[in-house]
Amino acid sequence: MFEIAKSLFMTDQPMKLFVNLAAVVCAASFGGYMGWQKYQKHMIAEGERQCLQSLSRIRQEIKARAALASSELSPRGWPMTLRSEWFGEENPTNPLLPFGKEWIEIALPSEEMLTHPSLRCDMTGTLSGLWYNPYLGIVRARVPLLQTEYDSVLLYNQLNGSDITALFVVPQPFDAETKARFNAGVIESDAPD
C-alpha cells in the first residue's frame, strides 16, 4: 500500500504530482457525494415511516372522537380541532419537516372543500408539517423540497395516498355544482386506515 502511495506522490515531476493529487481529490469527492446521497435517502425513508405512523395515529383519533362526539364537530361530523392531550405525551409529528411553527395546521372555513393544503411543500421552514381539514376529516403531511419537484410530488403521494401531479398549484374557486356535491356528502373523506 505504501509503495502505491509512494509511486503516486513521490515524484520529481510537478505535473504528474498535480494530476495524481487531482485524481485522488476527485475520487474522494465522488465517494463523499455518493455516501451523502445514500445517507439522505435513508433519512427520508425513516422520516417517511415515522410520518405514516403519525398520520395513522391522527386518523384513528379523529375517527374515535367523531364516533364519541366528545368534542365540537363539523357539519359533516369530524372534530373541528385536534388537541395535543388526545395523543398522550408525544404529539404525532412529521419528521420530514421538524421546524414548523405548529405541529398541525387546521384548515380555515374558506378551505372547507380542499382535499389537499394549498401549500403542500415547505421551502421556508415556517409551515406545520401536518394539515387537517375538519370539514372533510382529511389529514395530510407536507413534504420538503427535494432535488426535483417530481421527487417531492412522489413523496407527497406516497405519504398521503394521493395522485397529485404538482406541488405548486393555486386552488380554483368552487362552482355551484361542486359546492352542491360537497353539501350532499359526495366529496370523499380521508382513506381508511
Q: What is the pLDDT of residue 36?
A: 72
192 domain-assigned = no
**pLDDT tens-digit readout, 58-99:** 999 999 999 998 789 998 899 999 998 999 888 898 999 877
Residue 191 pLDDT class (50, 70, 90 cuts): very low
Q: What is the pLDDT of residue 193?
A: 46
Is the per-residue pLDDT at 179 higher than 90?
no
Question: What angle is formed at CA 182 by the lines to CA 181 and CA 183, rounded to 5 degrees?
Answer: 95
Q: What is the pLDDT of residue 188?
A: 58
Q: What is the pLDDT of residue 116?
A: 92
Is the per-residue pLDDT at 177 higher than 70?
no
How many structural domains does the chain have?
A: 1
CB-count burial class (<10 Å; 0-12, 13-18, 19+) for 149: middle
pTM > 0.85: yes or no:
no
188 domain-assigned = no
Is the per-residue pLDDT at 159 higher than 70?
yes
Q: What is the pLDDT of residue 55?
A: 95
Q: What is the pLDDT of residue 56?
A: 95
Mean pLDDT of 103-125: 89
112 domain-assigned = yes
Distance CA 76, CA 81 (A): 14
Distance CA 139, CA 176 (A): 25
The interaxial angle of helices 14-68 and 2-9, nearest 10 deg, is 120
19 domain-assigned = yes
Residue 173 pLDDT class (50, 70, 90 cuts): low
21 domain-assigned = yes
**Could you list the residue range(s) of the whole structural domain that residue 80 is in?**
15-183
191 domain-assigned = no
Mean pLDDT of 34-56: 83
Query: 169: how many CB neighbours lie within 10 A of its CB?
Result: 11
**β-strands 138-141, 105-106: how paired?**
unpaired
Mean pLDDT of 2-9: 62
Q: What is the pLDDT of residue 192?
A: 46
Most confident of 35-44, 76-85, 89-98, 167-176: 76-85
56 domain-assigned = yes
6 domain-assigned = no
